[in-house]
């Protein structure tokens, strides 16, 4: 396996900006990458799972690094679930590493199926994370738009505009908010 994935992870996450659950996942994935080099049974499949885990973490980092607010609870929970999955994969890799030649031969089909299952679970975990992130961004946007509308309404209430000018201005604001809201649906 190329050391590039391992080095990329270590460099990317030396930053203190990553949330605590994500840092834990990074640590787990680094262990997976290192363990995958020592496994003799299903080596290619295990290396593939380890690299896929690394890509998943890098994708999460890319999607969350510029988040201006703390990550919403459901997004952090998705990351915690990915961490649990990585720990489960680590346990599997550790067991594979301990297998002798006879055990490897006897369990090769089971191990191959397990590697495929972990690939499916990683895909599912990333989808769950992405959906939660998208919903959170949408919710934050809608909350922000509601605050903006309230602020504009408050400003207009004390302004020197006539009643008809206020109604016209509020209609324009609501129209712009509606257009922005529908682009995120």
120 is a domain residue: yes
Residue 169 included in any domain: no
Please state, in angstroms and as integers, the Cα–Cα distance from residue 37 to each residue in 80, 85, 110, following that order: 25, 19, 20
Give percent above pLDDT 90 in the chain.
21
Residue 92's pLDDT band, with cuts at 50, 70 and 90, is very high
Q: Name the domain count of the chain.
A: 1
Among 32, 24, 25, smallest CA distance to 5 is for 32
pLDDT, mean of residues 47-55: 89
Domain, as residue range, for 24: 4-140
* Residue 185 within a domain: no
Task: Examine residue 99 and state whether it is found in any structural domain, yes or no.
Answer: yes
- Nearest-angstrom CA–CA distance, 29 and 173: 47
Domain presence at residue 164? no
The pLDDT of residue 18 is: 62
Whole-prediction pTM value? 0.70
pLDDT band at 16 (very low <50, low <70, confident <90, very high): very low
pLDDT over threshold 60, residue 59: yes
Residue 39 falls inside a structural domain: yes
């Amino acid at each position: 396996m190329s050391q590039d994935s391992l080095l990329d992870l270590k460099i990317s996450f030396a930053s203190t900006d990553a949330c605590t659950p994500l840092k834990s996942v990074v640590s787990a994935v680094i262990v997976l990458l290192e363990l995958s080099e020592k496994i003799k049974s299903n080596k290619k499949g295990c290396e593939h799972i380890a690299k896929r885990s690394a890509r998943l973490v890098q994708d999460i980092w890319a999607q969350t690094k510029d988040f201006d607010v703390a990550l919403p609870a459901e997004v952090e929970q998705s990351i915690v679930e990915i961490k649990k999955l990585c720990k489960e994969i680590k346990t599997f890799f550790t067991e594979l590493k301990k297998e002798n030649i006879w055990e490897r031969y006897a369990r090769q089909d089971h191990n191959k199926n397990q590697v495929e299952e972990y690939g499916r679970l990683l895909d599912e975990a990333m989808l769950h994370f992405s959906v939660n992130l998208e919903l959170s961004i949408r919710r934050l946007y809608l909350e922000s738009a509601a605050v903006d509308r309230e602020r504009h309404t408050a400003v207009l209430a004390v302004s020197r505009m006539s009643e008809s000018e206020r109604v016209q201005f509020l209609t324009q604001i609501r129209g712009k908010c509606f257009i922005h809201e529908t682009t995120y649906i």
